[in-house]
Structure 1
Amino acid sequence: MTRSSLWKRLLIGLVCLWGVLASLPNAFYGRVELHNDAVAEIEKANGVATSEQDVALAAWPNWLPSSLMNLGLDLRGGAHLLGRVELADVYKARMDSLWPEVRDAMRDLRDQVGAVRRAPAPDGTLRVTLSEPSGMAAAIEAVQKLSQPVITLTGVGQSTLDVTADGADMVITLSEAEQRATDDRTMQQSLEIIRNRVDEAGTREPTIQRQGTDRILIQVPGIGSAAELKGLIGTTAKLTFNPVVRTTTNANESPGARNLLLPSREQKGVYYVIEETPVVSGEELTDAQPSFDQNNRPAVSFRFDGTGARKFGDYTAANIGAPFAIVLDGEVISAPVIQSHIAGGSGIITGSFTVEEATELAVLLRAGALPAKMEFLEERTIGPELGADSIAAGKLAAVIGLVAVAGYMIASYGLFGTFAVLALAVNLVLLVAILSSIGATLTLPGIAGIVLTMGMAVDANVLIFERVREELRAGMSPGRAMDAGFERAFSAIFDSNITGLLVALIMFFIGSGAVRGFAVTTSIGILTSMFTAVYVTRLIIELYLGWRRPKAIVV
């Protein structure tokens, strides 16, 4: 048999060695997982480690690979939520933020429209009453200038606002095209914010998908309960900076039109009456980090974007000596008095925080506020016991499949069947190594893909060995028969695996969820089976023939 060149042998050997090392952490899953968590926590703490983290860090050698296959919800247990985004809240917020702009647009038309006030209207509608209805046309024209073109494929030629007259009232709503575009933006923003929050909380491989027009599916493996996940996601972390009108101790006091009555977090029994429209909101934050104030108490430092920095600076310059409320989720966490013009768009939030609370608040602020409330329609906790049962069943299926394939190959091809089984073992090791290295999530359908790969992997060896048998019957020597078997079977092996790979890729790009998990393991399995069946098996047979130099072989 023609010997492969030395560099090919070394390359095949190195690939196999890498597969063994890269797949090894999965044999010590719990220990390596604790090691990886300790590494991540120590990095967050700027290299400072606790005694428990030192123990976890020492549980696995740093010089060995530590990447693991992430276990899906059905294997590890975790939390499942289905939430509905209240899109109508976004329309209300848009109209609330539009009112100051409309009021400013009317300022130059006072002689035509008279006094302007906001009238009660349903959420998502802005109704403005003019004391001089004769100026309605001029008012509508001025407000329409605030409208912008809708930039979507379906909204070409339409504007963002619909402005109509209703007696002495001007009625402003979002156009139908803008509502559709707003819905898409809101859902996309909600998806990204939820993903950021879940990822920063240290969980692994969450599944976060949009379903229908207003629903989001959230599945997070490894989290304790659906209530814990709901508490994290449901926290809006809505931060605003509002002018303070006055303080009071009466919880039932009427705040007045366009004002809010909010409790103080630090001073029990104290309430702040603040203007409903904020000067700056958390949406204009670009960064938030846990820090300490001048008294070495936990705090959160923040920085605004250009627009927020300008508004923040202008307001503080014009209101020196006035209190300024920092509002978080409906509570006034701090109301400092503006001492001077604050330029640069940065500041610090102080309050009765612990270090953990300041860190969590910074995480939520960095992720951003959810653009609308979420109503959770379905919540489910999958216990780790169910995941353990699934893993046990998957292992049993894999073992049964491996034993059945090995028994068939050895019974059919004897010693060369054993070589094929060794190559199959290498194939499984490489498959696990690649899944670990790319951070793929293993699910029950993924295990099914692995089991299917074991059956497909020996197909190539069957083609090769049957071809070798034909060449031996034709009178070829063992070495030449082996060369001919590998060379002449390659085209059939390549064609069959390429067609299987194309189907798996189509499943990956078109499918979702479990279908994609199956497609990933199947695709990688096809590639590794081609490598092991053609190159690893050949190398094993080369070594055997070179060592024993048999006069005849039985395949």
Structure 2
Amino acid sequence: MNRYPLWKYLLILIALVFGGIYTAPNFFGESPAVQISSAKSTVKIDNAMTTRVEQALQQAGLKDNGIFYDFNGLQGTVRARFDNTDTQFKAKDLLEKTLNTDPADPTYTVAFNLLSNTPKWLQSLNALPMYLGLDLRGGVHFLMQVDTKAVLSKRIQGLQSSVRVSLRDKEIRHTGISRDGDLLTVKFRDAETRNAAKALLASQMTDINLQDVAGDNTDFAIQLSLKPESLKAVVTEGVKQNITALSKRVNELGVAEPIIQQQGPDRIVVQLPGVQDVARAKEIIGRTVTLEVRLSDESVIGAIDDNTAVPFGSELFKVGRGAPAILYKDPVITGDYIAGASASFDEHQQPAVSIDLNGDGGRKMREATRNKIGKKMAIVLFEKGKGEVLTVATIQDELGSRFRITGMGTPAASADLALLLRAGSLAAPMDIIEERTIGPQLGVENIKQGRNSTLYGFAAISVFMIAYYMLFGFFSVLALSVNLLLLVALLSLLQATLTLPGIAAIALALGMAIDSNVLINERIREELRAGKSPQKAIEEGFGHAWSTILDSNVTTLIVGLALLIFGSGAIRGFAVVHCLGILTSIFSSVFMSRGVVNLWYGRQKKLSSVSIGQIWKHSDDAAK
């Protein structure tokens, strides 16, 4: 009657092994480490850096406990782990001197960090500890407001320039283009010209609305506005571009797991756990990066080196992928004119980068390249006041609003260049509207209090359950332990960031889980009071309690999902742990608990009693 088939016990065993493996990394602690990241957008760290770091440490007699390479989709980093902080400090000084030949203009950033001591065999299974949030580890928090009006104004300005260029290229004459907020009005002398312009703009610009404007016999006009979905897309893309740019920048701070995410339509949250230097963080986040497209100086003939004479009005660039090069100081266009860039392939299926300019940028590019076919043009990135050549290309034809850069070599190189062109600078200015600094000691205290509250609560529940329900209480405590084990394992597997609200959600999950076991035990007691045999009471007790447990957990899960969907920040963190806790609670309280009871009592054919505490038939009856 109360026996599980073998496959159910195997499922429980698999769940226990899973929980043990993915919970274990949280108990190994962390070791001091240093992180090497790129200080320049044009310098990419690859796996070869691990060999350079290893050789430098060996030559200096500094022993490491492992060197690891990691690529986060934007930039690569190398981390070296050590036994103690003394070796960590020595390694940082050594690597800063070894890797950076010019201390005034460092190529690489070497920062302190912490690495988990999880064994490699666990790491190979993706068993890693949970990340600690800002309130548990300390660090800085910024809430930044993106100037969406500037994003829209820039887009409308580009649209105005595009309309002017398109009409001029097709020799459609107008009497003026005026702007009123987000609306553009183009005036014409006659209806025929207006209709021709309307047809042209409708075919070239699918993201705008066109509407005739009523006027007198001498004033024919059309009104242009971006479609609502286009306006929303402009703001969304601007915020995403700022997030991408910020992600690249905070990489220099040595933050293991920064949180950079959108909050609402126009705000960005930046959390940097472990960072205490607010001034340094502000400097990195607010850094200005600009792009320029320049023509090569045609008067310079032959190879270029340090002894080459630089003509007046030109500039020598010695750093970058396409360096050395002598370019005119006056740029053709700047990064402000680049509307988009993406990795693509040319007609020979070779890697390339497709670039889209706004209307004004297309006009400038067309005028600059019309008589420069066969000449060279370079894209230069200016960062920290110094310029680096990203690429030098030969002009094959007159360029306009859309053109391609070929000869990139590999798809990875084209993707990197497209990323730099898109995210080299912020799409719109941002203001810091909220700033908080949390000290590391406060984080340690928060961890201690959260751990103690969970531990003491678990101990109190265990004592009560065993004292009140005896052996069945012990089974409930065992199921509660499995619930906690699986919950921590899932959070670690998902690489969730644990915060104070998350600890509160864990405590709540334990309370809800033990409530389910109390319900099961009381149902079994009711069946025993009704005169059922112990085996029958166990079977019907679990069966009757299941529907009630399911109903209560489903309704609570709906609330958790609502918090997850509509909440943000700490509320979402609470909701994630809360929803996972409900799922593990159902498994442990019903499936796991029933399995232990079946294993203990199910093999006894003639069971006369069960250890479930006192059972009262009526208030004045004696205990059985």
- The 1:332–1:432 alpha-carbon spacing in structure 2 relative to 1, beyond 3 Å, is closer
Q: 1:219 aligns with which of 271, 296, 313?
A: 271
Hey, what does 2:86 align to over in structure 1?
none
Hey, what does 2:330 align to over in structure 1?
273
Q: How big is the shift at 1:206?
A: 1.9
Q: How big is the shift at 1:100?
A: 6.8
Q: What CA deviation, in whole Å up to 9, does each residue of 1:426-449 have, x standing for no partner?
A: 100001111122233322212111
Q: What amino acid is the match of 2:546?
A: F
Aligned length: 497
- Aligned-pair identity in percent equals 34
Query: Partners in 2 of 1:108 and 1:69 — Cα distance?
Result: 61
Give 3-state SS (helix, strand or coil) of 2:509's partner. Answer: helix
Q: How big is the shift at 1:395?
A: 1.0
Give 3-state SS (helix, strand or coil) of 2:598's partner. Answer: helix
Give 3-state SS (helix, strand or coil) of 1:274's partner. Answer: coil
Q: 1:204 aligns with which of 232, 251, 257?
A: 257
- The 1:2–1:339 alpha-carbon spacing in structure 2 relative to 1, beyond 3 Å, is closer
Hey, what does 1:13 align to over in structure 2?
13
Q: Is the 8 A contact 2:378 2:389 kept in 1?
A: yes
Q: How big is the shift at 1:467?
A: 2.1
Which sections of structure 1, spanning at least 5 residues, go unmatched?
A: 248-260, 289-300, 350-358
- The 1:313–1:454 alpha-carbon spacing in structure 2 relative to 1, beyond 3 Å, is same
Q: What CA deviation, in whole Å up to 9, does each residue of 1:490-549 have, x standing for no partner?
A: 222222222222222222223222222222212211121111111222222233336898
- The 1:413–1:533 alpha-carbon spacing in structure 2 relative to 1, beyond 3 Å, is same
Hey, what does 1:466 align to over in structure 2?
522
Of 238-247 and 375-384, more deviation after overlay is shown by: 238-247
**1:319 and 2:372 are equivalent in the alignment:** yes
**1:63 and 2:121 are equivalent in the alignment:** yes
Which sections of structure 2, spanning at least 5 residues, go unmatched?
A: 38-43, 55-63, 68-79, 82-114, 300-312, 320-326, 398-402, 410-414, 613-624
**1:514 and 2:570 are equivalent in the alignment:** yes
- The 1:236–1:142 alpha-carbon spacing in structure 2 relative to 1, beyond 3 Å, is farther
Q: How big is the shift at 1:402?
A: 0.8
Q: Is the 8 A contact 1:424 1:532 kept in 2?
A: yes
Hey, what does 1:81 align to over in structure 2?
142
**1:234 and 2:286 are equivalent in the alignment:** yes
Give 3-state SS (helix, strand or coil) of 2:484's partner. Answer: helix
Hey, what does 2:473 align to over in structure 1?
417
Hey, what does 1:354 align to over in structure 2?
none
Hey, what does 1:297 align to over in structure 2?
none
Q: What CA deviation, in whole Å up to 9, does each residue of 1:139-166 have, x standing for no partner?
A: 87776566459978xx8xx33999999x
**1:106 and 2:162 are equivalent in the alignment:** no
- The 1:538–1:232 alpha-carbon spacing in structure 2 relative to 1, beyond 3 Å, is same
Q: What amino acid is the match of 1:10?
A: L
Q: Is the 8 A contact 2:482 2:588 kept in 1?
A: yes
**1:346 and 2:406 are equivalent in the alignment:** yes
Q: 1:284 aligns with which of 328, 331, 341?
A: 341
Query: Partners in 1 of 2:591 and 2:20 — Cα distance?
Result: 17
Query: Partners in 2 of 1:503 and 1:126 — Cα distance?
Result: 47
Query: Partners in 1 of 2:611 and 2:277 — Cα distance?
Result: 59
Hey, what does 2:483 align to over in structure 1?
427
Give 3-state SS (helix, strand or coil) of 2:427's partner. Answer: coil
Q: Is the 8 A contact 2:23 2:485 kept in 1?
A: yes
Give 1 or 2: higher helix fraction.
1
Q: How big is the shift at 1:396?
A: 1.7
Q: How big is the shift at 1:107?
A: 6.1
In the TM superposition, 1:108-257 aligns within 5 A as: 109=171, 147-148=201-202, 158-159=209-210, 175=225, 177=226, 184-197=232-245, 201=251, 203-204=256-257, 206-211=259-264, 214-223=266-275, 225-235=277-287, 237-243=289-295
Query: Partners in 2 of 1:417 and 1:148 — Cα distance?
Result: 74
Query: Partners in 1 of 2:158 and 2:468 — Cα distance?
Result: 78
TM-score in terms of structure 2 length: 0.64
Hey, what does 2:461 align to over in structure 1?
405
Q: What amino acid is the match of 2:293?
A: F
Of 236-245 and 502-511, more deviation after overlay is shown by: 236-245
Query: Partners in 1 of 2:212 and 2:130 — Cα distance?
Result: 50
Hey, what does 1:298 align to over in structure 2?
none
Query: Partners in 1 of 2:390 and 2:450 — Cα distance?
Result: 58
TM-score in terms of structure 1 length: 0.71
- The 1:313–1:127 alpha-carbon spacing in structure 2 relative to 1, beyond 3 Å, is closer
Query: Partners in 2 of 1:107 and 1:340 — Cα distance?
Result: 21
- The 1:469–1:183 alpha-carbon spacing in structure 2 relative to 1, beyond 3 Å, is same
Q: What CA deviation, in whole Å up to 9, does each residue of 1:376-432 have, x standing for no partner?
A: 333333333332222222112211221221122122112221221111111000011
- The 1:106–1:173 alpha-carbon spacing in structure 2 relative to 1, beyond 3 Å, is same
Query: Partners in 2 of 1:29 and 1:324 — Cα distance?
Result: 53
Give 3-state SS (helix, strand or coil) of 2:331's partner. Answer: strand
Q: Is the 8 A contact 2:138 2:442 kept in 1?
A: yes
Query: Partners in 1 of 2:392 and 2:547 — Cα distance?
Result: 80
- The 1:334–1:173 alpha-carbon spacing in structure 2 relative to 1, beyond 3 Å, is farther
Give 3-state SS (helix, strand or coil) of 1:416's partner. Answer: helix
Give 3-state SS (helix, strand or coil) of 1:91's partner. Answer: helix
Query: Partners in 2 of 1:37 and 1:336 — Cα distance?
Result: 25
Give 3-state SS (helix, strand or coil) of 1:26's partner. Answer: helix
Q: Is the 8 A contact 1:35 1:58 kept in 2?
A: no
Q: Is the 8 A contact 2:146 2:239 kept in 1?
A: no
Hey, what does 2:25 align to over in structure 1?
25
Q: What CA deviation, in whole Å up to 9, does each residue of 1:286-339 have, x standing for no partner?
A: 389xxxxxxxxxxxx99422768xx89997685147564534358754599876
Of 439-448 and 340-349, more deviation after overlay is shown by: 340-349
Hey, what does 2:412 align to over in structure 1?
none
Hey, what does 1:492 align to over in structure 2?
548
- The 1:490–1:331 alpha-carbon spacing in structure 2 relative to 1, beyond 3 Å, is same
- The 1:522–1:113 alpha-carbon spacing in structure 2 relative to 1, beyond 3 Å, is closer
- The 1:276–1:94 alpha-carbon spacing in structure 2 relative to 1, beyond 3 Å, is farther
